[in-house]
Structure 1
């Protein structure tokens, strides 16, 4: 599993918005200081994150469509699909390699890549 999928949902949403725009634009959009957003993004925000978390989820956390992923055997979002598909080919686990191979030829893959 990659590092981004281990983050809380609000941090994933924040990271995606920052990659899509910038730290400054994201800060303006959620109504926080640029420095606070930058610290939260890097995981160095020393204050309680409850408020910024709630704001990120409120502004950036709209419902994302899900579908059945044949590689993982469960329902996932398009962004999770894109993250899963972007992984490098695993070499240590036959099971992970089979999942990766299924993912590379999946019909959803292009849709998910374009949704990012």
Structure 2
């Protein structure tokens, strides 16, 4: 499959080898069969009938690494400071830090950062109860 040569697929494969596919699927907000089909190149993903674009974006923004503009600005290093998506999520999606001016500056910088929306924790899907099956009984003559 052409998507198996892309960097996001290597990242997904790495995570799936260290964690169960169910845990990886939960972190991405998809089902475990989707992860299996993508990794194995089967089903609609294997045939090319389904696109991997949304999954690729979720993988990168859940397990990837990002240059942090605020930490890069604060450091004296010439190289950008790169953090994991989990670290980014921890900085950007925490409650307002009122105890430290430095933490407050970082939190404010995160609110204007382009990575914040992509590193948001997955939202639980609404559970909709199934409709009860209606069984029709044959009428007596």
> TM-score band, normalised by the shorter chain?
0.3 to 0.5
Structure with more helix by fraction: 1
Larger radius of gyration: 2
State the TM-score, normalized to the length of structure 2.
0.39
TM-score by length of structure 1 reads 0.47
Q: Which has the higher contact order (CA 8 A, sep 6+)?
A: 1
